Structure 1
Amino acid sequence: MGAAPVPTLASHTLLVFLLQLALLLVLALALGQLAARFGLPAIVGELLAGVVVGPSVLSHVWPAGADWLLPKETGQMHLLDAFGQVGVVLLVGITGMDLKFDLVRRRRLTAARVSLAGLLLPLGLGIGVGYLLPAALVPDGTSPTVFSLFLGVAMCVTAIPVIAKTLIDMNLLHRSIGQLTLAAGVIDDIVGWFLLSIVSAMATAGLSTGTIATSLLHPVAVVLVAWVAGRPLVKAALRAAGRSPSPAPTVATATVIVLLGAAATQALHMEAVFGAFVCGALIATSGELDREKLAPLRTTVLAFLAPVFFATAGIRMDLTALTRPVVLGAACVVLTVAILGKFAGAYLGAKLSGLGRWEALALGAGMNSRGVIEVVVAMVGLQLGVLGAESYTVIILVAIVTSLMAPPVLRVAMARIDENAEAQMGLTDARTPDLASPR
């Protein structure tokens, strides 16, 4: 006899899932638009959508409704998680596609100094703070070393989309300092995804000489194989898809490439987002990318998949944890270290490149935005068990606060920078890149 057919999805499970998606999307879009109206990144409102329906608000205001909408049932929540993972994989893929490698080449020396100083200082401070935080914030069974490394990675990342949108809104994208900030952010993104993959592998395989070596070598091997073998395949696939006047083949091809890259790194016990980012970068450097044809994919991800993902990230925040003195104290320490580390690092890199104090301050403000990248890092940590509910809430709080800080500080610094002074410091040949997503 043949095997029994797999049961279909239960009617009630499907009903709850559809209502979850509808409610989270409506709230995310509404609060995202509200945030944008006040000059804030849309991601702030989208995260708050999850906070509203999660344990921070709805569970206290209407417990019965919260239990029905977000039942403590593994299968039900896994549906929402799977949907969110598809969204974040495609979002990270688009982030890779939007990287401006030509911008990095034009500003390579100054951008490298700013980026590396802005990476290494908060990374080191974050690792140090991770060892000093109360043991109550470290989940049971998690190595303090892995926790500290993960916190360091979370402290050193930068969110290019938030930087780009802030510069666009303030009409600063054409300025040389704005271009330099984006170039340094590109390097930050590349190194940040690389570090996330390494630490995630350590969290999965444990800490030993062999696993540490493997964690370091696997990401390098993935990048090399992708560049040598994957790049020609990606180029050929996009060229074939581009022959059609319709955007559909290009959208489908890019989506398949990103999903396959994510599946490959997941199979290698690395994070799926690393493979998605690498494939996005391959698409960006293929020479066959028609950005206009990718517009439908970008719209679908940014208007539908990404808001739901950020709302699901907000659901896992528990702001009531901040009423506990230990958690509130840890949040203040981590937030302070994250801000000072990034500002000081970027400022130091800028000064070493001969820039003035206001130029250095503007770079620090831009690089301090964590936004979407920090949220993805936090979600990865939660899924791996490296972060608990309290430490996850703290890191999401860092993402929100640092994204809110960028516009006012940039406004003050850029008002004091003379465009002629930028040219005198060698920051010339500014060309405006394509507009990035508002996250």
Structure 2
Amino acid sequence: MTLAMGPVPAISHHQMLVFLVQIGVLLTVAVGLGRLAARVGLPSVVGELTAGVVLGPSLLGNLAPDVSNWLLPRNPEQLHLLGAVGQLGVIFLVAITGAHIDLGLLRRKRRAISWVSAGSVLLPLVIGFVLSLLLPDSLMGKASDRLTFGLFMGVAVAVSALPVIAKTLLDMGLLHRNVGQIIIGAAAVSDIIGWLLLSVVSAMATFGFRIGVLTESVGYLILVLVATAYVARPLIGRLLRTVERSAGREVSLSAIAVLIVLSAAGTHALGMEPVLGAFLCGIVVGSLGTESRRSLDSMRAFIMATLAPLFLATAGLQVDLTALAEPQVLVAALITLLVAIGAKFAGGYLGARAGRLAHTESVAIGAGLNARGVVEIILASVGLQLGVLTTASYTIVVLVAVVTSVMAPPILRRTTQRMTKTDAEREREREFMSPSL
């Protein structure tokens, strides 16, 4: 019996060499700048994201173009190798975050989270759309009309970045705090709504507006949430209990890794982001008890020290700040940045206050949800590929992503220092910091 398909060509010697050097250089610079950021009182996520900006077209591409072209060739196959490693990092980072979600707290705080989610999405969405009406036509892509461009900018102003927020809260030791749990819960809802809206806008740019696209997206989302609660959770619980009894912790860890990857693949197959599936799988694993959570936590050191910095540095590589040299673009960028920061902060703050949270908590929530990070960069890339954005408007959206990710941690640190820890938070912290092995 013979196979119909011939042997797959191996990756070339040069491609493998470049890939390995890319990993080594990116990780070295990301960890180094992450440590530097920590020394000046910022979370390491700030330095790790900046590493990509330094090594990308904004700096290295201008100062040493030959070195940049060798290290980061604009070759799709080469870029996909690096992107795959970054995607793996974000999937496991978000899964660990989901495992430490306190579902009991979220149920008790569901009123606050609902208000925060609504405020932090709807207000920026409306203000972002209005802003787009005032921006010059030169910022609109060739495949875009004013409505599509407006909706896209509204989504860009409204989204948060769950992966970056998760890394920031982990770096700052705030994930176990009540305010951190509310921020993560609201960011998850914000991301779900954001990706849903992006799918609609993308369909409008490609096919024109169709009710069927919106109906299908909402239907898939409801299906995933129901299946997670009533099908996946009992099946995963039974599987992990069987594995833990018969094979021990190492095989249990492998099983959890497989479940996370397959969950990410499942949501991606339905047209949603892989991080949604990984996040939901992490929540399920965390809800099954301390042993399952500790098995997942045994990955944490490697993920936080290696995969997460690589993911953030890779995201920063897509940033090109040289387009801001044009005065019209710079003015539009500054206005968009101020509007995006103000609208997101106001939406989160007002939502938190409507949910009967204290002023200090509300300020922290408004600041935490402002971080847009790689989600915004991915969104900008989609807009550029679809022809909704030009290179200039793409740069503006990316600038919002970088600046908001850098400014959120200092405000979070200052506001949370005034909050007294509760007994429940201390217990959550002890569970989080307990040895995994």
TM-score range, shorter chain: 0.7 to 0.9
Determine the C-alpha separation between the residues in 2 that align with 1:55 and 1:272.
28
Match of 1:341 among 333, 340, 343: 343
* AA of the residue aligned to 1:330: A
CA contact (8 A) 1:157 1:189 kept: no
Residues 64-83 of structure 1: pairs in structure 2 closer than 5 A: 64-83=66-85
Determine the C-alpha separation between the residues in 2 that align with 1:306 and 1:188.
18
* AA of the residue aligned to 1:39: G
Q: What is the CA-CA distance between 1:392 and the residue it aligns to?
A: 4.3
Determine the C-alpha separation between the residues in 2 that align with 1:81 and 1:57.
20
The answer for the alignment partner of 2:6 in structure 1 is 4
CA 1:218 to 1:372, structure 2 compared with 1: closer, same or farther past 3 Å?
same
Query: 3-state DSSP class of the match of 1:290?
Result: helix
CA contact (8 A) 2:161 2:372 kept: yes
The answer for the alignment partner of 1:97 in structure 2 is 99
CA 1:410 to 1:97, structure 2 compared with 1: closer, same or farther past 3 Å?
closer
Determine the C-alpha separation between the residues in 2 that align with 1:96 and 1:418.
23
Q: What is the CA-CA distance between 1:347 and the residue it aligns to?
A: 2.8
Q: What is the CA-CA distance between 1:316 and the residue it aligns to?
A: 0.9
Determine the C-alpha separation between the residues in 1 that align with 2:226 and 2:56.
42
* AA of the residue aligned to 1:182: Q
Say if 2:18 is the partner of 1:16: yes
Q: What is the CA-CA distance between 1:78 and the residue it aligns to?
A: 1.9
CA contact (8 A) 1:119 1:157 kept: yes
Quick check: 271-280 or 73-82, which moved more?
Answer: 271-280
Quick check: 108-117 or 141-150, which moved more?
Answer: 141-150
CA contact (8 A) 1:137 1:391 kept: yes
The answer for the alignment partner of 2:404 in structure 1 is 402
Match of 1:227 among 193, 211, 229: 229
Determine the C-alpha separation between the residues in 2 that align with 1:345 and 1:136.
29
Q: What is the CA-CA distance between 1:354 and the residue it aligns to?
A: 5.0
Determine the C-alpha separation between the residues in 2 that align with 1:302 and 1:276.
16
The answer for the alignment partner of 1:203 in structure 2 is 202
CA 1:213 to 1:54, structure 2 compared with 1: closer, same or farther past 3 Å?
same
Match of 2:297 among 289, 295, 298: 295
Q: What is the CA-CA distance between 1:146 and the residue it aligns to?
A: 4.9
CA contact (8 A) 1:194 1:274 kept: no
Say if 2:181 is the partner of 1:182: yes
Say if 2:28 is the partner of 1:26: yes
Encode CA deviations 1:154-210: one digit per residue, 9 max, x unaligned: 433445676678778888888xxx624532441332342243145236525743121
* AA of the residue aligned to 1:53: L
Quick check: 144-153 or 11-20, which moved more?
Answer: 144-153
For structure 1, the 5+ residue unaligned runs are 423-427
CA contact (8 A) 2:333 2:396 kept: yes
CA 1:3 to 1:213, structure 2 compared with 1: closer, same or farther past 3 Å?
closer
Quick check: 400-409 or 93-102, which moved more?
Answer: 400-409
* AA of the residue aligned to 1:332: L
Match of 1:431 among 425, 429, 434: 425
CA contact (8 A) 2:252 2:295 kept: yes
The answer for the alignment partner of 2:127 in structure 1 is 125
Determine the C-alpha separation between the residues in 1 that align with 2:54 and 2:21.
15
What's the TM-score once normalised by structure 2's chain length? Answer: 0.83
Determine the C-alpha separation between the residues in 2 that align with 1:378 and 1:328.
17
Quick check: 62-71 or 330-339, which moved more?
Answer: 330-339
Match of 2:54 among 52, 55, 67: 52
Q: What is the CA-CA distance between 1:135 and the residue it aligns to?
A: 4.1
Q: What is the CA-CA distance between 1:41 and the residue it aligns to?
A: 2.3
The answer for the alignment partner of 1:308 in structure 2 is 310
Residues 348-367 of structure 1: pairs in structure 2 closer than 5 A: 348-353=350-355, 357-358=359-360, 360-367=362-369
CA 1:404 to 1:78, structure 2 compared with 1: closer, same or farther past 3 Å?
closer
Determine the C-alpha separation between the residues in 1 that align with 2:312 and 2:173.
27
Question: RMSD over aligned Cα, in angstroms?
Answer: 3.4
Number of equivalent positions: 425
Query: 3-state DSSP class of the match of 1:293?
Result: helix
CA 1:88 to 1:169, structure 2 compared with 1: closer, same or farther past 3 Å?
closer
Q: What is the CA-CA distance between 1:386 and the residue it aligns to?
A: 5.8
Determine the C-alpha separation between the residues in 1 that align with 2:74 and 2:168.
39
For structure 2, the 5+ residue unaligned runs are none
CA 1:396 to 1:234, structure 2 compared with 1: closer, same or farther past 3 Å?
farther
What's the TM-score once normalised by structure 1's chain length? Answer: 0.83
CA contact (8 A) 1:200 1:271 kept: no
The answer for the alignment partner of 2:272 in structure 1 is 270
Determine the C-alpha separation between the residues in 1 that align with 2:354 and 2:338.
24
Q: What is the CA-CA distance between 1:13 and the residue it aligns to?
A: 0.9
The answer for the alignment partner of 1:425 in structure 2 is none
CA contact (8 A) 1:235 1:288 kept: no
The answer for the alignment partner of 2:243 in structure 1 is 241
Quick check: 212-221 or 146-155, which moved more?
Answer: 146-155
